[in-house]
Structure 1
Amino acid sequence: MGKRTQRKVSTGHQSPGLTTKDARTLRVKMVLLGSSGVGKSSLALRFSKDEFKGTSPTVGSAYLTQVVCLSDVTLRFEIWDTAGQEKYHSVTPLYYRGAHAALVVYDISKRESFTRAQMWLKELQQHYVPGSTVVVLVANKGDLSDLRQVTLQEGNRLAIERGLLFMETSAKSGDQVNELLLAIAHRVKRSLNEHEGGPTERRENDFIELSRSETLQHPLAPCCSSVGP
């Protein structure tokens, strides 16, 4: 199975993902789901280290982290990359239960992966409460547009029908990957604020215009915890 981590246990009444009541640092569990070979591991690596390299099929799950600094809060993403092979399907729910964000990934050059993504979405609906988990449809391998079998319009239509965030990315080139993670960060923050009964983000556009102070913190980047609104 995948690498396990230890969480610090906090006391008092807190929302899921909030490490301390006043620190404004959110711990966010995010899982990547989809067929084998759609690029989940490559996306996770691009999210975490802004790197791309050939990967072998994931066994069980793999775990990476990334810090996203918005104008008024820091989110620590705990990224779970799950195996796409059918033989691991029965254990996958152990990883996505309790997730704040779930990314369902398909390969634009393989229609079968798009069909499989719809099955993942149906299964997710049975395991999360609407509003508690940010579900995202991700069309990966945008660099293979000459081999495209699934149009952008098809992916966007499915996302609209299901009320999901949607973006087409390329883990190989990095195109739209940072934008996707920042959009997810805003959605997760809004979801947690609504759970707490606090202020909410504007809803006019899922792809919120980002201020210059909102950044990704890669492993060698300076600490961004002092970033202000």
Structure 2
Amino acid sequence: MSESTAPKPSSSVKLVLLGEAAVGKSSLVLRFVNNDFQENKEPTIGAAFLTQKCNLPTRTIKFEIWDTAGQERFASLAPMYYRNAQSALVVYDITKPTSLTKAKHWVAELQRQASPGIVIALVGNKLDLASAEEEGEEELRAIPTAEAKAYAEEEGLLFYETSAKTGENVQSVFEAIANAIPESTLKPRGPGLGAGRQEVPVVNVEDAHRGAKEGCAC
């Protein structure tokens, strides 16, 4: 087999999503995994486990995604999901200032307690609502891009504004994370884990790895 046709190295990366309830975490993942959007998404209970591949020029990254519930009653369970994670999406809603405050809390917690060198992306979701302003509708953006971007730069975070509804920048976020993961932290990909979604009871977190369904790559 020639070098040009040799299979690319494939590695697994654990990624956790954190953020206030209703900022669109599950919708972002649904857009990334299935290229789909559901207008009235049910809140996540505990956490959901999903997987999806991201094909880079020199390697394939298999994201093992833990989509955590944003409700305050589940906050104490977060370490259970971000433990040993190599990457995190911390999501806020660009129309809701309190969601950025909560996002900053999660960033601080990850920097304090998560794995050293974890790649963190700060993501301002619901960019489609800002676009509505340009079309003459009510002004909805409450968090200026410059404010959030300055904070992200200060903390050494990746930064994107996205719309799970339209798909804008969603693929770019995951590709940026995949490119930012140091090769030294990558682990070989195990068999049998493909794209899919599964609601995971919080008492059966480890069992979820065995239940994901095979699916298509991004």
Q: Does TM-score exceed 0.5, indicating one fold?
A: yes
- Match of residue 158 from structure 2: 165
Other-structure match for 1:139: 124
**1:75 is matched with which residue?**
61
| Aligned partners of 2:17 and 2:91 also within 8 Å | yes
In 2, distance between residues paired with 1:130 and 1:220? Answer: 31
Structure 2 counterpart of 1:41, one-letter code = S
The alpha-carbon deviation at position 23 of structure 1 amounts to 7.0
Q: Does structure 1 residue 86 correspond to structure 2 residue 80?
A: no
Structure 1 segments of 4+ aligned residues over 4 angstroms from their partners:
none
TM-score by length of 1: 0.73
Structure 1, residues 52-91: CA drift from partner, whole Å, max 9, x if none?
0131111000011111111121111111100000000111
CA shift for structure 1 position 181 = 1.1
Q: Distance in 2 between matches of 1:139 and 1:160?
A: 14
Work out whether 1:45 is the aligned partner of 2:30: yes
Could you say which residue in structure 1 is the equivalent of 2:90? 104
Indicate the residue corresponding to 1:187 in structure 2. Answer: 180
Which of 163, 168, 189 is the aligned partner of 1:175? 168
Q: Distance in 1 between matches of 2:112 and 2:157?
A: 16
- What is the distance in 2 between the residues matched to 1:152 and 1:26? 33
Provide the TM-score with structure 2 as the length reference: 0.76
User: How many angstroms apart in 1 are the aligned matches of 2:8 and 2:176?
Assistant: 22
Percent identical among aligned pairs is 49
Does residue 65 (structure 1) correspond to residue 64 (structure 2)? The answer is no
Alignment of 1:24-43 (within 5 A): 24-43=9-28
Bigger fraction of residues in helix? 2
Residue among 146, 151, 164 paired with 1:153: 146
Secondary structure class of the residue paired with 1:109: coil
Shift of 1:220: 4.7
Count, aligned residues: 176
Q: How big is the shift at 1:162? A: 0.1
CA contact (8 A) 1:49 1:219 kept: no
Question: Which has the higher relative contact order, 1 or 2, with Cα contacts under 8 A spaced 6 or more apart?
Answer: 2
Deviation at residue 192 of structure 1 after TM alignment: 2.5
SS, match of residue 126 in structure 1: helix
Q: One-letter code of the match for 1:45? A: L
Distance 1:106 1:70 in 2: 27
Deviation at 1:107, TM superposition (A): 0.1
For the residue of structure 2 that corresponds to 1:66, the secondary structure is strand
